[in-house]
Structures are given as structure tokens and as C-alpha cells.
């Protein structure tokens, strides 16, 4: 980023449109809630492959938790946001806001 004076660092894991959308979607769930992978995929309108790649990145960063389990005989994958992920998204949003303010742009 080259936004001039002491621009806040933007978390590179979140600062990619697709992963930002994943993070925002997960943050809208209640705390302690998990969403099934296919539902998340539909909410985001992503392909399963694409979403998997981004989730892996977010999991590596410790922002999301992926739980593989079974419902009856069918395997189901649930995704939830970790506390660390919530904090990271909060920081990211704050950083974006302060960028906007320091740019002196229209709110």
C-alpha cells in the first residue's frame, strides 16, 4: 500500500476480496455457531474448489476452524470463525476505516 503517511498495515490474509467475503460471512454467524460447507459455498456463490483453497489459507492463519464430521453416513464439513479471526477482521475493518479517514475522502 502506498497511501502516504503511516498507513496502517492491512492483513494480507484478509486483504483479498474472496477471503474478505468469507470472513465477513462467517463473522455474521452467532458466536459458537458453525455453518455447513455447502451452505457457505451457496451464500458466497463460489465453487467448492475455490472456497476450499481460501478456507485452507484462513485456517493456516488460525482465523477459521474446519470440523469434519458425519451426519448419519454422509460426511459433513462445518466451518466457524475463531476468536482470533474475529479480532483480525475487526482490526482489518478499523485499518480500512482509518485509511479512509486519513485520505480525507468523503465518508
Partner 1 sequence: MTDDGERASSPEETLRLIERQRAATVKALNGDPLLLYTPWGVAWLLGFGAFFLHYGLHGVPYAPITWQLALGILLAAQLVAGAFMATGLVRLSSAIRGESSAKGMMYGYAWFVGMVLMTVINIRFSSMLPPEERGLMWSGVSLLVVAVLYMACGALYTQWPMFFMGVWVAAVNGLGVILGPGWHALLTAVLLGGGQIVTGILLRRRA
Binding site for partner 1 (CB under 8 A): 12, 15-21, 24-25, 27-36, 39, 43, 50, 53-54, 57, 78, 80, 93, 96-97, 99-100, 103, 105
Q: Which is nearer to partner 1, 84 or 103 (CB)?
A: 103
CB of 63 to partner 1, least distance (A): 13
List the grid coordinates of 61: 492463519
Half-sphere exposure (Cβ direction) of 55: Cα atoms closer than 13 Å: 24
CB of 39 to partner 1, least distance (A): 4
Contact 102, 3 (CB under 8 A): yes
CB of 6 to partner 1, least distance (A): 15
- If phi over 0 gives left and psi between -120 and 50 gives alpha, with beta otherwise, what is residue 4? left
Amino acid at each position: 500500500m502506498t497511501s502516504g503517511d503511516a498507513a496502517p498495515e492491512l492483513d494480507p490474509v484478509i486483504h483479498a476480496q474472496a477471503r474478505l467475503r468469507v470472513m465477513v460471512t462467517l463473522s455474521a454467524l452467532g458466536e459458537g455457531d458453525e455453518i455447513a460447507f455447502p451452505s457457505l459455498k451457496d451464500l458466497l456463490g463460489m465453487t467448492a474448489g475455490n472456497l476450499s483453497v481460501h478456507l485452507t489459507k484462513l485456517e493456516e492463519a488460525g482465523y477459521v476452524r474446519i470440523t469434519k464430521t458425519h451426519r448419519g453416513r454422509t460426511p459433513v464439513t462445518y466451518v466457524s470463525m475463531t476468536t482470533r479471526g474475529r479480532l483480525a477482521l475487526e482490526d482489518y475493518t478499523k485499518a480500512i476505516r482509518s485509511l479512509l479517514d486519513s485520505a480525507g475522502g468523503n465518508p
